Amino acid sequence: MLRYLLRRLLQAIPVIIGTTFLTFILLEVVPGDPIAMMMKEHIDPDVVERVRKEMHLDDPWPQRYVRYMAGVLRGDFGESYKTRRDVGELLANAFPATLALTASALLVAWGIGIPAGIIAATRPYSPSDHAMTVFALLGVSVPVFWLGLLFQLIFGWKLGWLPISGFKGVQYLIMPAIVLGASSAAVIARLTRSSLLEVMGSDYIRTARAKGLRNLIVLVRHALKNSLLPVVTVMAIQVAELLSGAVITESVFGIPGVGRVSVKAIQQRDFPLLMGSVIMAVVLVVVGNLIADISYAYLDPRIRYE
Amino acid sequence: MVNRASLPRLMAILAIVALLALGGCMPAAPGAPAAPAPVKAGVKTLTIAQDTDPGTADPQLTTEEYFLPLNLYDRLVEAVTTTPGKSELQPGLAEKWDVTPDGLKYTFHLRKGAKFHNGDILTADDVIFTFDRMLDPAIKALNTDFLDMIAGATARMDGKATSTSGLKKIDDNTVEITLAAPFAPFLANLATPAGSIFSKKYVEKIGKDFGIKPVGTGPFKLDSWTYNSELQLSAFDDYFRGRPKFDQLIMKIVPEAQTQALMFRKGELDAFDLDYARSQIPEFKKDAQWKDRIVSGPRVGTYYMSINSKIPPFDNPKVREAVMYAIDRQTLIDKLYYGTGIPAKGILAPGLAGYNPDLPGFKYDPEKAKALLKEAGFPNGIEMTLNQTVDSPSTLKMNEALQAMLAQVGIKAEIKQMDSAAWSGTRKEGKLGSYTSSWSADFNDPDNFIYTFFAPRNAVARSWNYENKAVQDQLEKARVMTDMQARYKLYQEIEKTIVYQDFAFVPLFHLEHLFVVHPKVKNFKVSWNGWSNMPYYGIEIVE
């Protein structure tokens, strides 16, 4: 198991090199100049030229790539062009907000999604199943910014129950968690339902029933665990996705997370900051998938890793 | 190895992780200095918002994020707003100054005993250090053009000198600055945020972190900064002009305008910049609660449409002239900006030194525009592009209106949207087609508009590609003139040639800048230049 873990983590290295390299090349190819972007209307060609030189932006790209990656190996993720802040620090400071938002959104998503899926699956085509389908459809199709504004209008302003924007306590997370969690909940609910329905029709469930086990025991002990395999895969992807930043939710609710940092980095062509965000996202995806793979073994005893 | 009862356990672990993440992350606010202090009762606070985090407090490293510089630092000379749209140069950290008749040598007599937030006392060394730092290549400064007229600045920027020869300490309270050539707006330049003065001792000690942990002599000091979330400033008790009349200044970073508007209505913000949400102007104007709480001031700035003279058929002046008459400026102002502006007739804006109120302007005359196109050899009209960034719905509205007006005279304009970095990158190369934009004064002098736009390299970097050697030589001449009246006259001539003879600049309008403020905020004045970032020193809070 330990060897497996180690091997999987080592596999992440070529993934990181590959993605950073691709990001780097993409940034080379697309038009845009970070200094011109920073100066906006104050563009002064002499200043742009000088600062580009001072920041070594005119060096050949392989040289810049190698220099950057050498820095990364030493734990130095460089300095943001625009804010001149340390990239590692910027991302590390933004991460807690994203972690809190992710955790609370997933609490909503899974806390609602899995039970809803189970209820729908145990009573297929009943009113509660249809209600769940409608809820799922709404959850997936309502845009986050619209739902966010609606919540702000109702709960933030009209009723005044919750703060509209900011990040200073648990009460600030309630609206964003629900808004962000809603679409993930819908996906999880649909997936749980279909997967559970499939398992419920299989032979061993019939056997379990034939033994005279109660419905609840059949469901929880026998059916649910097996049916959760595909759900866990999606859950892992959701974790990684949300941890890489939910930029719209972060913007609407003024949460200082990594999503806003990395989107700004793209807009500004803030290369060190963008590379830092990419590396972070890659590590999160790799770790997320790893956790999913390990939990497979817990869910399905036939799966083993050597 | 697989535990039978693993599912409940897995769920439990996930729940615990989630709770830990919630509990663990919340109290510790991510970010710089200390944790924000809770707002205490009886503390007079002004809370405002802007959509982007300033990123750095160092005005040498940004050309636009001036909220912190205007409130944390002072300058040798200050541009003080007298009446709306008007400003006056007043003594700042320099009590008085002398200029030699040839306009080359400036001697500044510093205020004695002005204190920095950390207790350091201002001396000539601080001034020299600060200005030299801007020109130091190691700093990679963006605002060098406010100081590059100082003698020796070029050598310093090119790394050929380790200090700036034009900066000289006479004694602890006197600084002498020599220019490479006379530059009339030099004092006005020093009054911009780029002229902010830092403490030498402190900056040398703190190094790179100065942009995050700034110290100045200004009316407010920075207490905490949670990046992308909130900045807390408090009154500086020892401010040399006297302590501000309120205690705390909070800047919230709220990216969405709609969110800001709700926060304002709920009372979480004390002032709301209507530039962020122009569509809400009529709503606030109609609302009995707010209609008398709108504060408005002219923006010493001009909205314009650019023309790239290198892109055919705009190499033909007749075609450019046709565009001038094809635009119904008043309708744009009425429909898009709810009447809060006036049509522009030239480059310079009302309120700016040297503004010429007697320019004729271009009346909306589609027939004349059509005739001009025909004369130019395009009886069937022409095609062009209007270029903009993807993230600006207000620009899109404007471009759609222009598109419709241009279509009336046979100009088929295609709106091209691109990523903002691509837009600015293409523009820098001189290859961008037409676009609409605006410029507001950094300092009160025509040079800030006309040189910035039309000096040969600048005209390329803005994708105008304006070429007129006579005019561009005059631009250089006007820079070094010391007789102000003659200088303004020359600028007015230059302006006339560019707009009414070369038709190289399409003036659109001058707009008001509107804010809506809560009744507890007194003495809220729009800055003379109409910037969103302003000094908040003069404000009073009554609870």
What confidence tens digit (pLDDT) does each residue in B159-170 have? 999 999 999 999
A118-142 mean pLDDT: 87
Q: Which pLDDT value is given to residue A216? A: 83
Q: Is the peptide bond preceding residue B313 cis, with omega within 30 degrees of 0?
A: yes
> What number is the average pLDDT over the span B271-287?
92
Cβ-nearest to B31 among A31, A32, A93? A93
* Tens-place pLDDT, residues A241-258: 888 878 999 999 999 999
* Cβ atoms < 10 Å from Cβ of B328: 20
CA-closest candidate to residue B278, choices B237, B327, B336, B232: B336
Residue B148: closest C-alpha in chain A:
A47
Best A167, A232, A238, A302 residue to mutate vs chain B (most B CBs within 10 Å): A167
Q: What is the pLDDT of residue B513?
A: 95
Q: In the predicted model, is pLDDT for residue B4 greater than 50?
A: no
Could you tell me the fold of the domain covering B301-511? Dipeptide-binding Protein; domain 3 (3.10.105)
Q: Residue B150 carries which DSSP code?
A: B
Say what the pLDDT of residue B32 is.
38
> From B26, which residue of chain A is nearest by alpha-carbon distance?
A169
Rounded CA gap, B448 and B302, in Å?
A: 12
Contact B65, B193 (CB under 8 A): no
CB contact under 8 A, B462 and A43: yes
Q: What is the pLDDT of residue A306?
A: 60
Tens digits of per-residue pLDDT, A153-197? Answer: 999 999 999 999 999 889 999 999 999 999 889 999 999 999 998
Distance CA B71, CA B451 (A): 28
Collapse the DSSP code of A179 into the 3-class scheme (helix H, G, I; strand E, B; otherwise coil) and give the result: helix
Are B307 and B454 in contact, with CB atoms under 8 Å apart? no
Closest partner residue to A32 among B14, B58, B421, by Cβ? Answer: B421
Residue spans of beta strands (DSSP E) within B242-287: 248-253, 271-273
Tell me the whole-structure pTM to 2 decimals: 0.89
DSSP helix/strand/coil, B148: coil
∠B72-B78-B82 over CA atoms, to 5°?
A: 115
d(CA A133, CA A52): 55
Mean pLDDT of chain A: 89
Sign of the dihedral through C-alpha B245, B248, B253, B254? negative
The CATH number of A95-267 is 1.10.3720.10
Q: Which of B504, B506, B475, B453 is nearest to B309 (CA)?
A: B504
Q: Hey, are the CB atoms on A96 and B30 less than 8 Å from each other?
A: yes
**In this structure, which CATH number among 3.90.76.10, 3.10.350.10, 3.40.640.10, 3.20.20.150 belongs to the domain B73-211?**
3.90.76.10
* pLDDT tens digits, B391-432: 888 899 999 999 999 999 999 999 999 988 899 999 999 999
| CB pair distance less than 8 Å for A40 and B458 | no
pLDDT of B75 over the 80 cut: yes
A125, burial (CB in 10 Å: exposed 0-12, middle 13-18, buried 19+) = exposed
Task: Give B226's contacts in chain A (Cβ within 8 Å).
Answer: 167, 256
Residue contact A36–B3, C-beta within 8 A: no
What does the domain layout of chain A look like in residue ranges? 95-267
- Closest-CA distance, A269 to chain B, in angstroms, reads 7
Hey, what amino acid is at B408? Q
Q: Per-residue pLDDT for A56 more than 70?
A: yes
CA of B178 vs chain A CAs: smallest distance (Å) = 22
As given in the structure block, the two tokens for residue A236 are 């892992």
* pLDDT of B24 strictly over 70: no
pLDDT at B175: 98
B23 CB neighbour count, 10 Å cutoff: 12
Kindly report, residue by residue over B496-514, the tens digit of the pLDDT: 999 999 999 999 999 999 9
| Contacts (Cβ under 8 Å, ≥6 apart) of A9 | A286, A290
Do A224 and B256 count as a contact with CB atoms less than 8 A apart? no
Distances (CA, A) of B169 to B153, B391, B482: 16, 48, 25
Over chain B, what is the mean pLDDT? 91
Q: Which residues contact B262 (CB under 8 A, 6 or more apart)?
A: A152, A153, A156, A157, A164
**Domain range annotation of chain B:** 73-211, 301-511
* A257: chain B residues, CB-CB within 8 Å: 228
Judging contacts by C-beta atoms under 8 Å, the chain B residues touching residue A42 are: 63-64, 142
Structure tokens at B502: 């070369």
Q: Nearest CB to B458: which of A44, A295, A297?
A: A44
B482/B181 Cα distance (integer angstroms) = 11
Spatial separation of the C-alpha atoms in residues A105 and A116, rounded to whole Å: 16
Neighbours of B242 (CB within 10 A): 10
The ipTM of this complex is 0.89
Contact B228 A260 (CB under 8 A): yes
